Amino acid sequence: MAEHQEPTYAEVNQDVLDTLLHTGRGYWILLGVSITVVLVCFVGPWIYQLNVGIGASGMNRNAVWGTYLSNFIFWIGLSHSGTLLSAILHITHSSWRNAIYRSAEAMTLFSLMTAACFVMVHLGRVWFIHWSAPIPNEMGLWPNFRSPLMFDVMAITTYLTASSIFIYMGSVPDYAAVRDASTGLRRRLYTIFSFGWRGTAKEWHTLAAAYLFFAVFVIPLAVSVHSIVSWDFALSIVPGFHHTIFAPYFVCGAIYSGTAGIVTVMYLLRRTMHLERYIREIHVDNLGKLLLALSLVWTYINALELFTGWYSGTSYEIEALKFKMFGFYAPLFWEMILFCAVVPMLIWFNRIRLNWTAMFCISILINIGMLTERFIIVATSQPIKFLPSAFGFYFPSMIEISITIGSFGIFTTLFLLFIKWTPCISIYEVKETLRPLTRGA
């Protein structure tokens, strides 16, 4: 793989700002397509569901949670690597983070927003969503903070707020660069966004301190968010849900799918925005090694989850396990194992790991596997509970499948808008990785 010559400081500004200030026809076509997907596949079916009721989905008396919640977990999971990885690598002074973290953090933010859409779709009567906030309402109800669903509200609100601030603060010096490179209305807007940043030593000093604290706050927060999402399941007594391993299982799965998501996004950015000089071999190599390690941990925890179910000797657990592994959804279960545990073993090979296209394909397969994993957790456990007479079945309706497709449109639309609003690569942090402007250099 050809390595590119190191750019100068001025070239970094030029290259990155070009992605922001110059827009080709391909961008507008892609944006148009993704907005159309949102309107046709997400908004339309949702309006239909609001009109006819939640019965438009495949959810029923035995399976009150369906694809909407499995998608919610998937998108929350996808959000995990961006901010978390960025924060960990920032604290450990890993300079390879600098070129990729901005887009990874944006991925976090937009995955969270997409996940929040699924909460609203799942609610059915979304106009009562304010009942989950601790404010007086017309029913005189107050939230029950003993419920894991309320933990979720608090955790996701906090994560969304913290992630937004984290990405915004890191972007302020770059907004100043956009301000100086633009004119007219754009210049006025970026003057506001950049808070009048001038790059004084005092501003850098304060940003460094604040950014470090953000990173310190975000790491335990990210771990808590997916642990709490797992408790939505694990704190119930449903066989297949009620496992103590669920919190680490979910956190590991979230980081795994998030890291795969970063590889996907980096590949697309590199190819479409010609950022080969910045998103380099070291990035795909390190992300590949991380994916490999995570796939091994994920496989171990997955095996442990099956083992504890079997070793419990409880007939309900064994029944749930049998249904998962050999029942109607068995093909999906084995597809998940293939994509998340077997395919990633190819990353052991240098030729695969250092090949962007191969890693892109593997990352897509991993996320298909992870989407399936979330679906299997929801669809195979809840309908098969304790009494055989109460056994049910869940299959997603066309409305749910369409809304699932539409959610990818929401994410893509938000990300496309982001890359024209914020430099997708951190200009000042990339400069920090270059040879310093000193006489010796």
DSSP assignments along 89-129, one per residue: HHHTT-GGGTTTHHHHHHHHHHHHHHHHHHHHHHHSSGGGG
Q: Taking a C-beta distance cutoff of 8 angstroms, is the pair 384, 391 a contact?
A: yes
At a CB cut-off of 8 Å and minimum separation 6, what does 84 contact?
A: 108, 218, 219, 222, 223, 255, 258
160/263 with CB nearer another protein: 160
Instruction: Say whether residue 93 binds another protein (CB under 8 A).
Output: no
* Contact pick of 63, 89, 112, 228 for another protein (by CB under 8 A): 228
Counting contacts by CB under 8 A, is residue 24 touching another protein?
no
Rounded-to-integer distance, Cα 191 and Cα 40, Å: 37
Q: What is d(CA 365, CA 358) in angstroms, rounded to the nearest whole number? A: 11
If one asks whether residue 187 binds another protein (CB under 8 A), the answer comes out as no
Closest CA to 408 of 369, 377, 371: 371
- What is the torsional sign of CA 7, 8, 9, 14? negative
Amino acid identity, position 150: M
Residues across the chain: 441
Token digits of residue 175: 């907004």
b/e map 126-139, b = 16+ CB within 10 Å: eeeeeebeeeeeee
Residue from 8, 23, 95, 350 touching another protein (CB under 8 A): that is: 8
Site size for another protein, by CB under 8 A?
61
Task: Say whether residue 169 binds another protein (CB under 8 A).
Answer: yes
Q: Which of 38, 112, 177, 399 binds another protein (CB under 8 A)?
A: 177
Site for another protein in 296-315 (CB under 8 A): none
Check residue 72 for interaction with another protein (CB under 8 A). no
Among 60, 182, 191, 355, binds another protein (CB under 8 A): 191
Min dist CB 169 to another protein, Å, is: 7
Block residue for tokens 């997409």: 114
The only residue of 24, 53, 55, 199 in contact with another protein, by rule CB under 8 A: 199
Q: Residue type for 310, please?
A: W
Q: Which stretch binds another protein (CB under 8 A): 115-123, 205-213, 259-267, 380-388?
A: 205-213
Question: Which range, of 28-36, 199-207, 265-273, 324-332, touches another protein by CB under 8 A?
Answer: 199-207
Q: Are 404 and 379 in contact (CB under 8 A)?
A: no
Residue of 10, 61, 93, 351 that binds another protein (CB under 8 A):
10
Under 8 Å between Cβ of 369 and 299? no
Nearer to another protein among residue 13 and residue 372 (C-beta): 13
Tell which positions 250-269 bind another protein, by CB under 8 A: none
438 lies in the site for another protein, by CB under 8 A: yes
**Residues contributing to the site for another protein (CB under 8 A):** 8-10, 13, 134, 140-147, 150-151, 154-155, 157-158, 161-162, 165, 169, 172-173, 176-177, 180, 191-192, 195-210, 213-214, 217-218, 220-221, 224, 228, 428, 431-432, 436-439
